[in-house]
Amino acid sequence: MSAAQEETISVPASYGQTSNTLAQYEQQYTRSIGSVAGTADRFWIEQASRLDWEQRPTRGDESSFDPVEIRWFADGVLNICHNAVDRHVAAGRGDDRAIVFEPDDPDGAVRRLTYRELQAEVVRCANTLKAMGVGRGDRVTIYLPMIVEGAIAMLACARIGAVHSVIFAGFSADAIAGRIADCASEYVICADEGRRGGRIVPLKANIDTALAKLAVKAVLVVRNTGAPVPMQEGRDHWYDEASRDVADTCPCEPMGAEDPLFILYTSGSTGKPKGVLHTTGGYAVWAETTFRAVFDYRPGELFWCTADIGWVTGHSYIVYGPLLAGASVLMFEGVPNFPDHSRFWQVIARHGVNIFYTAPTAIRALMREGTSYVEGHDLSSLRLLGSVGEPINPEAWQWYHEHVGASRIPVVDTWWQTETGGIMITTLPGAHGMKPGSAGKPFFGVVPQLVDNDGKVLDGVAEGLLCITQSWPGQARTIYGDHDRFVLTYFAHFKGKYFTGDGCRRDADDYYRITGRVDDVINVSGHRMGTAEVESALDSHHDVAEAAVVGFPHDIKGQGIYCFVTLNAGIEPTESLVAELKQQVRAQIGPIATPDHIQFAPALPKTRSGKIMRRILRKIAEHEFDALGDTSTLADASLIDGLIADRRNAG
Ligand code: 6R9
């Protein structure tokens, strides 16, 4: 890292009006982590008091990391939908813009919903769900494209106390089936079809395939493209028909702060995705507080987060965070490069977006196309830029800052995870200068710690494994139906600490720079992918004896998927087999998991005890042939030269 990249770039003094001067940050941070006994609970109960509670919480943090039990605001009662929607209408903000919808096709219809209109739609959806039999605690699977109904369906579930499980519309039928079965969800909301980048996604057909071997009580189908799709008598209902005659009021179910709000599946080190569970009160406070402070949101502004509601970023910063704060949010159905690479900038100019939050992979892809697509679009409405999902390389950061931000707009690089519920490490505009490539400082309530492999705490300037030592309100409570796995995944490596799975460097100014995952999770275009998931998809092919999957640096995607595959005896490696294996992975997981490279290997490097040495395979995939490290424990070291030669040939 060169000195120039470590330089701090200051933020104009006009930022941080909400509460983010450096002195305020430091004072609030100290209170928020409870350096002085009792202050943390008072701090967080104050934050919580911006929301409406049917019963105000008097208790704050009652969490423990050993044994593992996470609990916040336990005696509070509230409804998050009331807070995100009805509260604003009741306060006279019903005519404020809630959601602006920009379609995939630039010539399609823009849809605008005020908070009052959003309330009516949410009530309609909630009553329709009730009429189908959905009740408090029931799991509802939502498989929708990026249309307004996605946000409406989530809020409608929350309104009636049902637990939503949103599945990214890019996942395949197999992936859907696994997720529906895991949480025993008996209700599904989908659309006939989705649109993305000019292409059609057959959502209802995927649901039908997923449900071939699963019984659910009802499927609610949103008419989106209007395509004819088969409807199963008694099970499937068109949303427009089912919702026609429902009542126009629906009370918000009073929920305990620790009642479940949603499940969101995410990849881990093992083959089976984990159903990360978030509860109501702590998540609401975290989403609202982080949104306000990090994006320095001011009334009337338009906020755009380009994530999909199928990921946690969409949950927290398209739906809950902005709406809880009464903000106006843009929802975009499309992709950055359709119809051409200026799509993002067109949308910003068209709607006067003030705050723009996207992923490094999108920035890199657009950067590659040159600046001509950015130039000529009026981006003067922009006031703040954000990045999320993966480490942003300083070059991409600079490009974003210079060409999108006219070198004057601050960039917040926000590090967080599905499990953290919301932003954890970032600079706050107004309080902190920026360092390209560094996420920055811990948010209120977050106490990061770096440790080495043996758990020894590293102080000062250091590089190590990132842990968080005490709970924060937005923390995931468990893995649905498997608390042991929750404990084992996050709290067993280093007792009494939450282990993030990320590597991290802390510099002399106490800025944190995330270096990437240190476990068997790779980050492809900001999407988390368990290498074990891809391996099990490959292993299930009848010609495959064994597969090992690793990440490798990819210019656009951050990391690409590299597969070493050993075939069964007598099977010839062919181009068509490569295509078949790629297709197998797409079918079992989804297009985002498509392998970039498949390298056939006569055998995989293993230790004498039979463990695949992924560390070595990773180095080979990365072209780091001189850095293989200790190979003395290999059972058959002669294998390596052949693997390297084949890797060289693959380019
Ligand atoms: C919000 C989200 C989490 C993983 C996380 C880390 C990576 C996210 C980052 C970042 C560096 C950032 N990550 N934001 N790495 N800088 N600003 O992405 O959640 O899908 O659960 O992924 O993404 O590796 O552990 P999720």
Are 197 and 160 contacting, i.e. CB atoms less than 8 angstroms apart?
no
Selection from 180, 178, 146 nearest residue 164 by Cα = 180
The DSSP result for 57-97, as a single string, is ----B--EETTEE--BSTT-EE-HHIIIIIHHIIIIITTSE
Asked whether the beta carbons of 447 and 33 are under 8 A apart, the reply is yes
Indicate whether this model's pTM tops 0.90: yes
Cα–Cα distance between 453 and 469 in angstroms, integer? 16
Least confident of 236-245, 395-404, 453-462, 532-541: 532-541
Tell me how far the alpha carbon of residue 110 lies from the centroid of ligand 1, in angstroms. 31
Q: What is the best residue among 269, 274, 387, 416 to mutate for testing ligand 1's pocket, by most ligand atoms within 8 Å of CB?
A: 416
Q: Give the Cα separation of 439 and 191 in Å (integer).
A: 37
pLDDT tens readout for residues 305-314: 999 999 999 9
Q: What is the pLDDT of residues 318-333, one digit of tens each?
A: 999 999 999 999 999 9
CA–CA dist 156, 327 (Å, integer) = 19
- Look at 6-20, 208-222, 348-362 and tell me which has the smallest mean pLDDT: 6-20
State the number of CA atoms in the 13 A half-sphere of 569 facing the CB: 0
| Alpha carbon of 463 to ligand 1 centroid (Å) | 18
- 409-436: average pLDDT: 96
pLDDT digits (tens, 9 = 90+) for 480-498: 999 999 999 999 999 999 9
- pLDDT-derived band at 349, boundaries 50, 70, 90: very high
Ligand 1, atom 12, residue with closest C-alpha: 415
**DSSP string for residues in 550-574:** EEEEETTTEEEEEEEEEEPTTPPP-
What 423-426 contacts at long range (C-beta under 8 Å, 24+ apart), as own/partner pairs, is 423/290, 423/294, 423/388, 424/448, 424/468, 424/472, 425/512, 425/514, 426/294
What pLDDT score was predicted for residue 613? 85
- Predicted complex ipTM: 1.00
Residue 425 CA, closest ligand 1 atom number: 17
**Other CB atoms within 10 Å distance of the CB of residue 598:** 22
The arithmetic mean of pLDDT across residues 591-620, rounded, is 89
Query: CA 644 to CA 599: how far, in whole Å?
Result: 11
Q: Which amino acid residue places its CA nearest to atom 26 of ligand 1?
A: 417
CA distance 23 to 547: 53
Report yes or no: 163 and 328 within 8 Å, Cβ to Cβ: no
Res 14 pLDDT > 90: no
How far is residue 418 from each of residues 294, 381, 433, measured CA to CA in Å? Answer: 18, 30, 26
Closest C-alpha residue for ligand 1 atom 1: 417
pLDDT at 150: 98
**Helices (H), strands (E): how many in the chain?**
21, 33
- Which residues are 521's β-sheet partners? 530
Residue 142: which of 171, 166, 125 has the closest Cα? 166
pLDDT, tens only, 37-90: 789 999 999 999 999 999 999 999 999 999 999 999 999 999 999 999 999 999
Residues 256 and 443: beta-carbon distance below 8 Å = no
Quickly state the pLDDT bin for 631 (edges 50, 70, 90): confident
Closest to 410 measured CA to CA, from 18, 10, 25 = 10
- Return d(Cα 238, Cα 190) in angstroms, integer: 10
Atom of ligand 1 nearest to the CA of 418: 21
What pLDDT does 3 receive?
A: 41
pLDDT at 1: 42
Give nearest CA residue, ligand 1 atom 16. 391
The ligand 1 site (C-beta within 6 Å) comprises 266, 311-313, 387-391, 413-418, 439, 500-502, 514, 516-517, 523, 528
CA dist 539 and 556 (Å) reads: 28
644, containing H or E segment:
helix 639-650
User: Which amino acid makes up residue 363?
Assistant: I
- For residue 417, the CA-to-ligand 1 centroid distance in Å is 5
| The pLDDT of residue 17 | 59
DSSP string computed for 614-626:
HHHHHHHHTT-GG
533-569 confidence digits (pLDDT tens): 899 899 999 999 889 999 999 999 999 999 999 999 8
SS3 string, 498-533, reads EEEEEEEEECCCCCEEEEEECCCEEEECCEEEEHHH
User: Tens digit of pLDDT for each residue in 373-391?
Assistant: 999 999 999 999 999 999 9
Sign of CA dihedral 307, 308, 311, 314: positive
Residue 608's pLDDT band (boundaries 50, 70, 90)?
confident
Write down the pLDDT at residue 6: 66
Mean pLDDT of 198-213: 97
Instruction: Give me 11's structure tokens.
Output: 């933020």
At 233, list the tokens: 């008598």
Would you place residue 611 in the very low, low, confident or very high pLDDT band (cuts 50, 70, 90)? confident
Tell me, in angstroms, the distance from the centre of ligand 1 to residue 239's CA. 35
- Ligand 1, atom 4: closest residue by C-alpha: 417
In this structure, how many other beta carbons lie within 10 angstroms of the beta carbon of residue 634? 17
Amino acid at 96: D
Q: For residues 533 and 552, what is the distance between their CA atoms, to the nearest angstrom?
A: 17
Which position has the token pair 């006219």?
A: 406
Q: Where are the alpha helices (DSSP H) in 132-202?
A: 148-160, 173-182
Say if CB 528 and CB 307 are below 8 A apart: no
CA of 375 from ligand 1 middle (Å) equals 30
From 387, 420, 523, 533, the mutation candidate for ligand 1 (largest count of ligand atoms within 8 A of CB) is 523
Q: Which residues pair with 449 in a beta bridge?
A: 467
DSSP string, 190-251: EES-EEETTEEE-HHHHHHHHGGG---SEEEEE-SS-------TTTEEEHHHHTTT--S--P
Minimum-distance ligand 1 atom for the alpha carbon of 413:
17
For 39, phi then psi, to 5°, come to: -70, -30
Q: Work out the pLDDT band at 2, boundaries 50, 70, 90.
A: very low
